[in-house]
Amino acid sequence: MSISRHRRRLLILALALIVFFVAYSYIYRSFIDTDKYLQVAWEHTGRDPHVLNWREPAVQVIFRDGRILVHMIYHTDQDREIGPYSFYIDPFKMAVVAEDPRQPIGN
């Protein structure tokens, strides 16, 4: 009896671990995959050739307007004239839901 009880516990533990890793993988691919955010923001700029850091933007996860958003800032070679891009991406919709106006920085 004791051996079968241990086998049952090990089987339950193994199944629980499998379910956990499948769920984690799904969540990672759906909400945490940074390449998806990069692609959404890059497409929103119209693939602007002036963007300097499209693969490495400044990124923050923030709480704004009652929801969690990913804030991305793309610097351009025109930051002094018209400013950088600043987008807010909803991780559940995978779409840009807000954008700060571009304002010149520095002199």
How do residues 13-36 score in pLDDT, each as one tens digit? 999 999 988 887 777 666 667 788
The count of structural domains within the chain is 2
Statement to judge: residues 70 and 90 lie in one domain: yes
Statement to judge: residues 40 and 64 lie in one domain: yes
Q: Is the dihedral of CA 45, 49, 51, 53 positive or negative?
A: positive
SS3 label, residue 3:
helix
pTM greater than 0.75 (yes/no): no
Statement to judge: residues 45 and 28 lie in one domain: no
Domain of residue 83 covers 34-107
CA distances from 105 to 47, 80, 102 (A): 21, 5, 9
Tell me, what's the pLDDT at 76? 92
Ramachandran assignment for 94, one of left (phi > 0), alpha (psi -120 to 50 degrees), beta (any other): left
